[in-house]
Amino acid sequence: MPDSPLAALSGKLVIDLSRVLGGPYCTQILGDHGAEIIKIEPPRGDETRDWGPPFHEGDSAYYIGVNRNKRSMGLDLSLPEGRDVLLRMLENADVLLENYKPGTMESWGLGYQEVLKEKFPRLVHCRISGFGSDGPWGGFPGYDAIIQAMAGWFSVNGEAGSEPTRLGLAAVDMGTGLYSVIGILMALLERERSGQGQYLDMTLYDCAVSLMHPHIPNYNYSGKIPGPTGNAHPNISPYDTFKTGTIDIFIGAGNNRAFGKLCNALNRPELIEDERFINNIDRVNNREALKQELESSLAGFKGEEITTVLAEAGLAAGPIHNTQQVVDHPHTHHRQMTVEQGWYKMTGTPIKLSRTPGSIRHLPPKYGEQTREILAEFGFSAEEVQQLLQSDTVLEQRRR
């Protein structure tokens, strides 16, 4: 990630009250592209600092993975003095992001409709919660796996006939973080026209339901409840894992032309005219027979070699990698998706802008590492800072 002299979001100030994953992932993306992110942590800190092993100098790899390009200060918002500090900081802010339980900010006198909208009319306030503040489940807590379960993800994951299974990624949290980035950018863009900020009501539940594709559309138009299909796609064939002479690989052929290329590459042109496999609907209805035919041919190939042959023929195919193979892969390095800076080694940004690329300006901060520095930048005198530290309104060390 090369350093950018003027990144896409340079000049934008984000006050980040969020913890765990969805919110921090959102603000890391904004920070990668130039926004100034001030991570305000409660006295006990972001709990993911403890979510290990592994750790680096007391902070977990989990925390390190989503908290670069931020500066940290500790602040106790349960105290009136802490809320006064936040209000002073919001005078210059473009975005406030938080993921407190709905009603918490309001109980502190910091609700958007009641207070912030009038005090800071240009502020974009983004709240991430499990289910929102109203409705049958409004206000209830929600973690990634609970939402996966309730939004149907468990029911379509795993092998056919298997028990409901959690995805191995926190895709609800991270997907909500991505949706939140989009929403924040939309609000900032609209503000250029109206001059007004607005409130973003982002929920893990909404985002997880929106990502249930193609299962919800399939149900809506068939009436059949989808179940797990393993690695096979419910609407496309071949789109599955296949055994070769060495390793398992994945092949996807979404149309007749691609299927023809696959058959020719495997020296099986007769399959193109086989009545069982003429069109995609035929291949879906006869997917097991097709898999047997393809694997009988793939058994004579080395997986690493045949995936290259297929890719060069214009087909979507690739070997199945573990995490180490992904990190070490030459294409991962070529795409700058592994970045290193001193002790820090992490994934790069997937957003590649030609004139204003992302960059690493700050490594993940220790708790309260920049508390004094940040307060000084917001006009707090040395005496005020010392008084706030002595009263434990602001903190430089976690309260255990």
Element (H, E) at 133: none
Tell me which residue of 123, 113, 94, 108 sits closest to 27, measured CA to CA. 94
Query: What count of residues does the chain have?
Result: 400
| Rounded Cα gap, residues 57 and 97, in angstroms | 27
Residues 6+ apart with CB under 8 A from 95: 12, 13, 14, 15, 30, 35, 123, 124, 125, 126, 184, 188
Known catalytic residues are 173
Dihedrals phi, psi of 259, to nearest 5 degrees: -60, -40
- What is the per-residue DSSP string for 32-55? HTT-EEEEEE-TT--GGGGS-SSE
Pairing of strands 316-319, 338-341: unpaired
Q: Which amino acid is at 77?
A: L
